Structure 1
């Protein structure tokens, strides 16, 4: 279980490192990003970790012939389900808490770290002597730099084709605004040139100090690649979103499935723990190897079956309320079959 956690943690480090590449992030912010990114992972990490841990423990008992000895003493092999069941219930509670409360907190924190880093990278990334265009239609250039001040600044905003704005200033600074989507241009001793294309009127306004706010939200509000737009929502927000008639049917279905999955995944923790017992029971190493192969198949089947049912629900071919529960229901059915065979095998 610990080894699997380390592998997943290392993979998450690589994902975070890839996401922050090119941003002026500090070591503390990378640590923050890692902490924030783990709650969204717990929904899958906890069930799969318990599945592998149970397989290893019961498989070891099977290889040491402890299960055969237990059966010879008149005890049912179904008693092996006790500890995995209790552990599964406890970890299901942890998993549910992580998905219901930890995931929205983590995703919001993760987005905030990335937005602040991207905003700071833009504000500090002015190239002197070259045109800087962060937003289409907005160009900024400074001829020189003295300390933290830029010299001979020219700023052009052509987003409104009928009323372009050109600003020139002797000195200026570029700083991050209070809002993570804002970049502030603090300019001194300059002029603003306004040109009305319709009337061909040109006005020049001189200033001693001026501040210009640029919205770069499209640049800094990009989510990490592995984060869904629904993951930052609470249960109440997801419920409201799923019932909002202004949203498209596909988005409402997606929100409904996502809402129910926050409960279905914790239930999967218990289902996986119970499934691991009959899979691991066997007297040979090949049986244990098959158990691990089966477990990999269970995880893959759970994920892809869930995705397939969700796609069917989006197209209206399956009830959205049941989509998240289908993998759990099938897992329970498979467990019942395997448990019956396990009991007969030691009868």
Structure 2
């Protein structure tokens, strides 16, 4: 008979391996899709592999808080599904090992996943998004400097035509700058300045041109006005460079836990009710998703016992379907909480409560050996879709 300590080590090793593979695969697919939005920014700029890896690392925490729970769930489900297909669960029961001695390894894995998700949700997200914004804005600033060639009219930015007699791609310094601003349909403006400087602000997610000692010639209808300035900040629309990715003020989902607590402690005098609900929803989300590692793991164990005998590829679909159901409930709860239909606590914790109840019922079935065998379900479906079912 296999001793329980050895059994726990083998279970933990297999579940950790499968969870790691699932986590790496999901994360690469999501990050590749997101970074494809920045393809125009990467082109003709000589982005190195190290820069690309940095963006991967910085953007990862935003998705890991959702991917770690589903990876833990799939690690547990596929491990016990494989054991059921290889008749190992039957052998363990014949050797006197029931359901409860199998619990320590899954609980340790889920607890480690919960601790990691909690750390990422409280500190990792803010660290990653701050560095991601800073890196992307710096790349956009550098590409803007490269695009503005001396003696060439540049139309890379919607509604703006930029011309400079001299331009330094390294420092972003411009000389004898001419800008035609036609972004507003009712009026157009011509800006002339002897010198300018391309700069960026990572906190605001903006790239701008700082012009000095120039004039603005604004035409509106038949009227022409002239305004002199010492310093003029011309903000550039980066939507084309960033492929539709918006880098505006930090959203609550990008903030650290300390920033969220600071916002929640304020009186929201300058913020609307919608923003307050978003902050409260995000605060509950930072704890509900780490708890989901334990909940989904407990839900996956009886689910695997119920479907033992199913092939792995179909088991993968079943597990993903269960997680999609959780995600639908979570998304609906977030939408209702942000809309003020229900409180953030109810909306964000409702999926965990539902799946925890499902896990308790499933364990009761498995411990009492009340669960239906998947093979009997398959046989019933074949009879239903057989010639008799087709004739009827």
Task: Please confirm whether the aligned pair reaches a TM-score higher than 0.5, indicating the same fold.
Answer: yes
Alpha-carbon distance in structure 1 between the residues aligned to 2:234 and 2:146? 15
For the 8 Å contact 1:111–1:221, the answer to whether it is kept is no
* Match 1:253 to one of 272, 277, 287: 277
Alpha-carbon distance in structure 2 between the residues aligned to 1:274 and 1:35? 30
With the length of structure 1 as denominator, give the TM-score of the two structures: 0.79
Other-structure match for 2:347: 323
Aligned length: 337
The structural deviation recorded for 1:4 is: 1.8
Alpha-carbon distance in structure 2 between the residues aligned to 1:98 and 1:146? 40
Mapping of residues 38-53 of structure 1, within 5 Å: 38-53=60-75
For the 8 Å contact 1:313–1:323, the answer to whether it is kept is yes
Deviations 1:65-94 (A, max 9, x none): 232233334432232222101211122101
For the 8 Å contact 2:192–2:215, the answer to whether it is kept is yes
Mapping of residues 117-266 of structure 1, within 5 Å: 117-127=139-149, 128-130=151-153, 132=155, 134=157, 136=159, 139-142=161-164, 153-155=177-179, 166-167=191-192, 169=194, 175-176=198-199, 181-184=206-209, 192-193=214-215, 213-216=233-236, 224=245, 229-242=251-264, 244-266=268-290
* Match 1:19 to one of 17, 29, 37: 37
Q: 1:108 aligned to 2:133?
A: no
For the 8 Å contact 2:181–2:188, the answer to whether it is kept is no
Q: 1:340 aligned to 2:338?
A: no
* Match 2:101 to one of 68, 72, 79: 79
For the 8 Å contact 1:115–1:221, the answer to whether it is kept is no
Alpha-carbon distance in structure 2 between the residues aligned to 1:85 and 1:63? 22
Unmatched 5+ residue regions in structure 2? 1-17, 372-392
Mapping of residues 236-315 of structure 1, within 5 Å: 236-242=258-264, 244-281=268-305, 285-286=309-310, 291-315=315-339
Q: Which has the higher contact order (CA 8 A, sep 6+)?
A: 1
* Match 1:61 to one of 54, 60, 83: 83
> What RMSD, in angstroms, separates the aligned Cα atoms of the two structures?
4.1
Alpha-carbon distance in structure 2 between the residues aligned to 1:239 and 1:45? 25
The structural deviation recorded for 1:102 is: 0.6
